Homo-oligomer: A and B are copies of this chain.
Amino acid sequence: MPETPLDPSGTPPIALLDVDAELVDNLGTLVATEAQGMVLNLLADLHPADIARLLTHLPREHALQLIHWMDEQVSSEVLAELDPAYQAALLKELPPEQITAIVDELDTDDAADVLAELPDEVTEQILPALEDAADLQELLGYGEDTAGGLMAREYVSVEAAETIAEAVEEVRRKEADVVDLYVVYVVDEQNRLVGVVTLKRLLLAARHAQARVADVMDTDPIQVPTDLDQEEVARIMERYDLVSLPVVDPDGCLVGRITIDDVVDVLREEAEEDLQRMSGLTGDEEPTDSVLRITRGRLPWLLIGMVGAVLSGLVIGAFEDELERAVVLAFFIPVVMAMAGNAGIQSSAIVVQGLASGDVWGSDITTRLGKEMAVALINGVVLGLVLVGVVWLLVGIGFWGDEVDAPMQLALTSSLALLMVILLATGIGTTIPLLLHRVGIDPALATGPFITTSNDILGLAIFFLLAALLYLP
């Protein structure tokens, strides 16, 4: 973790300077004219996190120039604030000795993330030269999205039999190493986690310097295994309002610590991924990605959408005779598709969100379906009445000329079809995620193209069947 502004040994006082397009322009000009002194002066007022944001808006060669100019401690703090992919893209342009020096300044969790992103040959070259080589080797062995992948090796732990004074001394010994410290972990002789002591408690116990840590610790601390998924880690820290969470190996031995800032990043990342997936993006598209990379990410979704659309087209094609006999029916194609899609997405979104947050349970299927169908019935009737009005109006103003000879029948048929489509789409949107959840498939995958496509196809089929039955002579 980078130095935080709350730490006295680290960065200078923070002016919450606005990082905006103007500042980027000015900085760009200064870098281009090699005005090193002025640039460093400007950056001296900025928090590393703000410098990092600036870097992502500069051309790569300017960003590299800045990293060359800054001293290693500052540049490592700045790099720690960037996405690992971005860090690696900048670092790999630097000579190995400079990469080593910068990575050495990072906390082990951040260092492991960068090493994972760097080209393999670079990682192999610099890893042995790093101070924490053994720790990093271990961290690199854990899955990226697990507790092991999130945790850092920097923490403070003491044995239960040690005194308060010894615990304070241990905090002092690790002062520079563990910057953000809220809790001291307590272990037994085998390094198995047996308790925690908050810094507040340690501070208040300090007057009893010879008391044992065991006397003031909380036993049975909340802890997670190294292979727990990061979403679950986030949920645990959120639910129990934790700012740091110890990670243990299968023997219960303490191996690392996850801090809340990493979890905040996980939450933000996952929210962005969810939004992207709903929009037909890969989930990790960055605005800075290359055209080819963006295309590679988006094209598959468009192709899936195309398959769905062609299937809908085939349904329409199958009713071409009906359409030829009453071309007015084409007017209702977008209406049926839009309403089926929207109603289905509304229902599935609330179910998927509820399943993720724990507010909807897999066993709730009947209750949930009942409620959704009630909502669909009301909405379907209202929208059906609106559609009757629209058809009436269009017939009235002569939009269809003399083509429609039974306007009342057209209005009623289309409205009835709309109601049925909305009920069906809602039923599908509600049950599919619940069923997927029950068989252990992530229901979020089902909200998008699958539900929309099946609703479109069934909706169009219902509409044309009803039209053939009730409207066409």
Contacts and interface: CB of A to CB of B under 8 A. Distances in A.
A339 B388 CA distance: 29
Nearest to A343: B302
A272 B353 CA distance: 7
A168 B206 CA distance: 10
What 9 A-B pairs are tightest by C-beta distance, nearest first? Answer: A271-B271, A279-B349, A13-B220, A309-B338, A312-B334, A313-B331, A241-B261, A287-B354, A199-B199
Contacts of A295: 375, 378-379
A180 interface: yes
Nearest to A386: B306
Contact of A175 (B200, B351, B383): B200
A275 B350 CA distance: 9
A327 interface: yes
Nearest to A330: B316
Contacts of A263: 264
A272 B275 CA distance: 10
Interface string A339-357: 1001101101111011001
A261 B217 CA distance: 23
Interface in A293-308: 294-295, 298-299, 301-303, 305-306, 308
A243 B182 contact: yes
Contacts of A360: 287
Given A238-B265, A313-B331, 4 more contacts: A275-B353, A287-B368, A320-B328, A320-B403
Main secondary structure of the interface of A (DSSP, over half): helix
Given A6-B196, A183-B6, A243-B260, A299 B379 contact: yes
Interface in A259-294: 260-261, 263-265, 267-268, 270-272, 274-276, 278-281, 285-288, 291-292, 294
Contacts of A265: 238
A310 B350 CA distance: 26
Most buried by B among A221, A274, A330, A360: A330
A366 interface: no
A92 interface: no
Interface in A360-405: 360-363, 368, 371, 374-375, 378-379, 382-383, 386-387, 390, 394, 399-400, 403
Contacts of A189: none
B306 A339 contact: yes
A94 interface: no
Contacts of A240: 4-5, 14, 47, 49
A350 B281 CA distance: 8
Most buried by B among A19, A263, A312: A312
A181 interface: yes
Nearest to A271: B271
Given A353-B272, A386-B306, A371 B57 contact: no
A337 interface: yes
Given A53-B358, A302-B342, A278 B275 contact: yes
Contacts of A53: 239, 358
23 contacts: A15-B220, A19-B358, A53-B239, A199-B199, A203-B206, A206-B206, A238-B261, A263-B264, A267-B268, A271-B274, A272-B353, A279-B345, A279-B346, A279-B348, A279-B447, A287-B354, A287-B360, A287-B368, A292-B378, A298-B375, A305-B342, A309-B335, A330-B333
A71 interface: no
Given A200-B181, A272-B353, A221 B333 contact: no
A309 B387 CA distance: 11
A454 to B, nearest CB: 13
Contacts of A201: 8
A333 B316 contact: yes
B203 A14 contact: no
B222 A14 contact: yes
A332 interface: yes
A302 B180 contact: no
Nearest to A452: B338
A324 interface: yes
A213 to B, nearest CB: 12
Contacts of A308: 338
Interface in A229-249: 236-243
A58 to B, nearest CB: 12
